[in-house]
Structure 1
Amino acid sequence: MRAAGARGVNPKVAIRLIYVAAMFLVAMDATIVNVSLPAICEELGVSPAQAGTVNIGYLMAVALTLPLAGWLGERFGGKRVLLSAIAVFTAASVCCGLAGSLEGLILFRIIQGAAGGLIAPVGMALLFRAFPPEERANLSRSLVLPIAVAPAVGPVLGGFFVETLSWRWCFYINLPIGAAAFALGLAGLAAAGRPQRSGRLDWIGLLLSAPGFAMVIYALSQGSMRGWASPEIVATGLLGAVLLAAMTARSLRMPAPLLQLGLLSQRLYRTAGLIALCSSAGLLGMLYVFPLMYQNLFGASALHTGLTTFPEALGLMAASQCMPWSVRKLGVRRVIAVALLCAMAVFGALSLVQADTNAWLVRLLLLCGGFTLGHSVGAVQLLAFARIEPPRMGQATMLFQVQNRFGSALGVAVIGSVLAAGTAGAAADAALAAGPGAWGYRAALLAAAAFLALAWVLALTLRERDTAGVAVRRPQASAAAPAEAAKAPPAS
C-alpha cells in the first residue's frame, strides 16, 4: 500500500509543485508584511522605526542560513531539509500572527527567515537534479509563479487583510499553503533528495560567512535610510566585508569549504551568476522606487498602485510561456541580450512617466518590462546550471541564491541612495514641472536601467561556444514520451 501510494505521485510533478508553493510563501512574505507595518505599529503601540526591525531581523536570518543550505542538503538529504524548512516557516508564520508583543513578533520573524533561507537553494537543487538540462527551460512555465506573482500579490492581499480582517492574517495565510506543500512532499518525494557523501562542516567558514553576509546585507538595506556615513552602517559594513574577505581567502585554500567558490572558475556559471545579480538589482530596484513615485509624487492610493504595477507580474508569466520557444528559435545567448536591451528601454520610458500619463500606458510599459526581463531571467537560470554536475548542484544553487540575494540588496541600496540624494536636491527647485523631488525618482529609475545595462554588457561577453549544446526539448516530444514508452519493450 505504501509503495503504491508513493508511485501514485509523479516525483517530477511533486517537486515542481512543492518548490512553487514554498517559494511563493517566501517571496510573498516580504511584500505582504511591508503593507501591514502601520497596522502593527498601531496595535502593538510601537514606532515605525521599531516596527522596521520586523523586516530587518527576517533579512538577516535569511543571510545567516543561506551559506548552510548546500551542506545541510547533502548531509541530511534535500527532501528532509526542504520539508523541515517548510514546516518551520509555516509554524513560525502562525506564531507571528499570534504574537502579542513586538519582541515576540521579531523572534518568530527571525525563525521564519532562518527557514526561508534554506527553501530556495535546497528546493532548486532538488528540482534541477530531477530534470535533465534539456527539460529545464520548460520549468520556467511554473517557476515564474513565485518570482513574478507572489511579490505583486503581496501588497494587494496585505492591504485587503489590513482593511477587512487584521494584519495577523498576513501571516495566517501561509498556513494552508505551507501545510499543502508539506503533505505533498511526504507523499511525492519518498525517493528524492537522499543524503549524499559530505565532508565535515566547515565551522570556521560558517562563522565567517554567516555574520559576514548578514552584516553586509544589513548595511546595504539600511544605509540609504540611516545615512551611509553613520558609524553604525560604516562599522557593520566594513566588519562584514572583512569577514567575507577572510572567508573567501580560506575557501580558495581548502579542499572542501562551506562555500565552494571554485564553482566560479567555470566561465559560464560565473557570467550567468553576474548577469543574474545585475538583473536582480535592476528589477528589485525598479519595483522599490516606482510604487513610491506613483504614491508620493502622483498621489495614487496603495491599492491603485498595486493594481497598476501588477501587469509586470503578468508580463513575467507570459515570458515564462514563451521563453522555451524563443530559446529554440534564437538561442539562449541572443534571447538574453535582446531581452535585456528591451528591458532597459522600458525602464527608461518609465522614468518619463508624468502624473497625467494614461494609467493604461503605464500598465502596458510594466507589462512589457516583465515580458522582456522575464525572458532574460529564465534564460540565465537555464544557462547557469547547464554545465553543473548533479553532485555539485546543491552548492551551485546555494551560491547562485547568495548572489541573487546580494544583488537585490545592492540594487535597493544604490537606487535608494540615488532617490534620497535626488529628492533632497530637487526639493528646493519649484520650477520642476512634475513637482518637487521628481528628478530624484527619475534618476533612481535610470539607475535601475543602468544595472540592466551592466547585465547586457556581461551578456555580450558570452561566446557561441559557451552556449553550444544548451538545448531545449520540445514540449510535444516530452509529452509523447509516455505513449512511446508504453509501446516500447522493457529495457534490459
Structure 2
Amino acid sequence: MRSLSFYKKVIIAVYVMSMFIVAMDATIINVALSTIGQEFNVPVSATSGVNIGYLVSLAMMLPVAGWLGDRFGSKRMLMLAVSIFTIASLSCGWAQSQAMLNVCRVLQGAGAGLLTPVGMSMLFRTFTPEERPNLSRVLVVPIAIAPALGPVVGGLLVDQLSWRWIFYLNIPIGAIVLVLSGLFIEEYKEPSVGRFDLKGFLFSLPGVGLIIYALIEAPILGWSAPKVFIPFLLGLGFILYLVKIEKETPKPMLNIYLFEDRSFRVMSLIGLFSAAGLFGMLYVFPLLYQNVLGFSAFHTGLTTFPEALGLMVASQLLPWSMKKLGVRRLMLISLFGSMLIFALIALLAEANPWVIRLLMFGVGIFLGHSVTAAQITAFQTISKQQMSQATTLHNVQKRFGGVFGVAILASIIGSQQAADITIVPYQWALAGSAVFIGICFFIGLTYREREKEQVHVQAERA
C-alpha cells in the first residue's frame, strides 16, 4: 500500500504538469502570431482566432467536465482529456492553413476544458483546507508562471526552430502524465452525481457558441456589426435562460446555488476579471513589441519573463503574507499594486526594456499574490461532494474571463488601428487590461474576512 505522502506527491506532479501545458498553451502562441499570420497570409487581427478558439472551446467543455468526472471517474476522464490534448497538439503542429490550425486549437481546447476541473477537484479533494495555503508553491506554476513562461519558450522555438514546435512540446509532457496517472492515481466516483442535465447542456451550447462567434468576429468586424452584436445578444439570452433552468433543476450541470457562499462568489469574480487582464495583456504586449517596436519573438519573451520570476517569489511569500495580512487586506494591496503596474506598462511601453522587465517582475509579485490567494480562498467552505461542481463553475468564469479579455483588447487595437502601424492602439489596449484589474479591486472591497458562511444548498442539489 502506497504511503499517503507519496500519493500526494503523485497528485501534485500530475496536476502541475497537466495544468502547466494547458495554461502555457494559452499564451505561448502569442509570440508566434505574427509568424503564423505571415506564413498563412492572414492579417494580425485574424490570428486572434487561434487564441480565442482555444480559450472558448476550453470554456465550452468546462460545464460538463465535472459531471463526467464524477460519473465515470476522475482518473478515467483525466487520462481521456490528456490524450485528446496531446493528439490535438500534434495536429496543430501539422496544420497547413489558418483554418486547419483554428480547428485543431478548438480540439486542443476541448481536451483542456475536460482536464481543468477534473484535475483541480482531484487536487482539492486530496488536500484539506488547512493544507491548501501551503499549496501556493504548486498552484502558482500552472496559474501564473506557465502563462508568463509561455512567451519565452515560444519566442525561443519560433526564432530557433519553428512555431510548430510550440505544439510538439506538449507531447512528451502529456505522455508522462498518462503514465503517472495510469500507474498511481486512484479512481474516484461520486455516488450522488445523478443523471446528466441534458436540458442545461443543450441550452449552454448555443449560448456559449454564439458568444464565442461574436468574440472571435468582433476584433475583425467591430462590435457594431450586425454579425457580431446579434449573435452576442442571442447567446446572452440563452445563457440567462440557462441560469433560470439550472436554478430549477434538482441535479444541475452548473450549481448556481454555490454562489450563496460569499468567499466562492467574490473570489470567482476576481478570478474572472484578473484572467481578462492577465491574458489580455499577455496577448497585446507581444504584438506591440514585435509589430511596432520591431523586437524578435525571443526578445519579446525575455521581456515578459520577469513576471514569472516575480510569481515564483510571490509563491514563496504567500503563506506568510496570508497569515500576517489576512486574505482581504492581502487581496486589496496586491490588486491595487497590480492595477498601477499594468497602467505603467501601458504608459511606458516604449521605455528601456529593463524598465519594462522590472514592471513585469512587479506584476508577478502583486498578481501572483492575488490570483493564488483567490483560488485558495474560493474553496475554503466547499465540501468534497460539491468540489467538482465548484471547480467547474469557478473555471467556467475564469476561462471566459480570459476569452473576454483577449477579445475586448483585440477589438481596441482593431478600432484604433490606422493605415500606419503606431503604438497608440496597443497602449489603449494595455490600459484596458489595467481596467480589468481595477474591477477586481472593487470586487475585493466587498469581501469580509472571517465570514465562514456555508453554502445553503438543499440536500437534493448537493
Structure of larger gyration radius: 1
1:444 partnered with 2:440: no
Q: What CA deviation, in whole Å up to 9, does each residue of 1:109-163 have, x standing for no partner?
A: 3322211111111100010010001111111202211233322333333343344
Letter matched to residue 446 of structure 1 = A
Q: Unaligned stretches of 5+ in structure 2?
A: 455-462
2:392 maps to 1:398: yes
Task: Tell me the secondary structure at the aligned position of residue 10 of structure 1.
Answer: helix
Q: In structure 2, how many angstroms separate the alpha carbons of the residues matched to 1:325 and 1:361? A: 28
Secondary structure of the 2:347 match is: coil
Q: Alpha carbons of 1:63 and 1:293: their partners in 2 closer, same or farther (altered >3 Å)?
A: same
What's the CA shift for 1:412? 2.4
Aligned residue for 1:31, secondary structure, equals coil
The residue correspondences of 1:153-232 to structure 2 (distance < 5 A) are: 153-190=149-186, 192-232=187-227
CA contact (8 A) 2:46 2:220 kept: no
How many correspondences in the alignment?
453
Q: After TM superposition, give the deviation of residue 39 of structure 1 in Å.
A: 5.3
The residue correspondences of 1:87-126 to structure 2 (distance < 5 A) are 87-99=83-95, 105-126=101-122
**C-alpha distance 154-463 of structure 1, shift in aligned 2 (>3 A):** closer
Deviates more, 1:28-37 or 1:365-374: 28-37
Whether the aligned pair in 1 keeps the contact of 2:190 and 2:385 (CA below 8 Å) is no
Tell me which of 337, 344, 363 is aligned to 1:342: 337
Correspondence for 1:329: 324
State whether residues 221 and 409 of structure 1, in contact with CA within 8 Å, keep that contact through their aligned partners in structure 2. no
CA distance in 1, matches of 2:119, 2:451: 27
The answer as to whether partners of 2:62 and 2:113 remain within 8 angstroms in 1 is yes
User: In structure 1, what is the equivalent of residue 410 of structure 2?
Assistant: 416
Bigger shift: 105-114 or 343-352?
105-114
**Alpha-carbon separation, structure 2, partners of 1:409 and 1:39:** 22
State the one-letter code of the partner of 1:253.
E
Deviations 1:279-302 (A, max 9, x none): 222222222223333334433232
Between the aligned partners of 2:49 and 2:293, the Cα distance in structure 1 is 29
Relative distance call for 1:441 and 1:79 in structure 2 (3 A) is: same
Q: Does the 8 Å CA contact 2:153/2:301 hold for their aligned counterparts? A: no
Q: Which moved more, 1:10-19 or 1:23-32?
A: 23-32
User: Which amino acid counterpart does residue 408 of structure 2 have in structure 1?
Assistant: V
Matching residue of 2:460: none
- Partner of 2:411, secondary structure, is helix
Map Cα deviations across residues 350-388 of structure 1 (whole Å, 9 max, x no partner).
222153x23222211110111101100111111110011
Is 1:459 paired with 2:459? no
| 2:264 aligned with 1:279 | no
Q: State how far apart, in whole Å, the 1-side matches of 2:341 and 2:12 are.
A: 31
CA contact (8 A) 1:9 1:187 kept: no
- 1:378 matched to which residue of 2? 372
- State the AA in 2 paired with 1:255: P
Q: Which moved more, 1:162-171 or 1:20-29?
A: 162-171
Match of 1:81 in 2: 77
Counterpart among 286, 297, 301 of residue 302 in structure 1: 297
CA distance in 2, matches of 1:34, 1:354: 17
> 1:19 pairs with 15, 19, 25, which one?
15
Farther off after superposition, 210-219 or 196-205: 210-219
1:353 to 348, 356, 370: 348
Does residue 1:255 correspond to 2:250, yes or no? yes
**Separation in structure 1 between the aligned mates of residue 199 and residue 340 of structure 2, nearest angstrom:** 45
Farther off after superposition, 148-157 or 194-203:
148-157
Is the contact between residue 56 and residue 218 of structure 1 (CA under 8 Å) also seen in structure 2? no
Are 2:11 and 1:10 aligned?
A: no
Partner amino acid, structure 2, of 1:399: L
Instruction: Give the partner amino acid of 1:147.
Output: I
- CA change 1:42–1:224 in 2 (3 A) is closer
1:238 correspondence with 2:229: no
Match for 2:373: what amino acid? A
Q: What CA distance in whole angstroms lies between the structure 2 residues aligned with 1:309 and 1:447? A: 18
Report whether the alignment pairs 1:407 with 2:406. Answer: no
Deviations 1:412-436 (A, max 9, x none): 2333334444455xx89xxxxxxx8
CA distance in 2, matches of 1:74, 1:458: 32
User: Is the CA contact 2:326–2:449 (under 8 Å) kept in the aligned structure 1?
Assistant: no
Q: Distance in 1 between matches of 2:73 and 2:422?
A: 52
1:137 aligns with 2:133: yes
Distance 2:62 2:434 in 1: 28
State whether residues 56 and 403 of structure 2, in contact with CA within 8 Å, keep that contact through their aligned partners in structure 1.
no
Q: CA RMSD for the aligned pairs?
A: 2.7
Secondary structure of residue in 2 paired with 1:391: coil
Partner of 1:480: none
- Residue identity opposite 2:21 in structure 1: L
Q: Tell me, in whole angstroms, the C-alpha distance in 2 between the residues paired with 1:227 and 1:311.
A: 34
Moved more, 11-20 or 344-353: 344-353
Partner SS, residue 465 of structure 1: coil
SS at match of 2:254: coil
1:22 counterpart letter in structure 2? S
Quote the Cα distance in structure 1 between the aligned partners of 2:230 and 2:349.
40
How much has 1:440 moved relative to structure 2? 3.4
2:118 partner amino acid? V
Over the matched positions of the two proteins, sequence identity in percent amounts to: 47
* 1:362 matched residue in structure 2: 356
Cα distance change on mapping 1:223 and 1:354 into 2, 3 Å: closer
Q: Distance in 2 between matches of 1:27 and 1:358?
A: 29
User: Compared with structure 1, are the counterparts of its residues 453 and 123 closer, same or farther at alpha carbon in structure 2 (3 Å cutoff)?
Assistant: same
Unpaired segments ≥5 residues, structure 1: 429-435, 470-492
Q: Please tell me the residue identity of whatever aligns with 2:346.
A: S
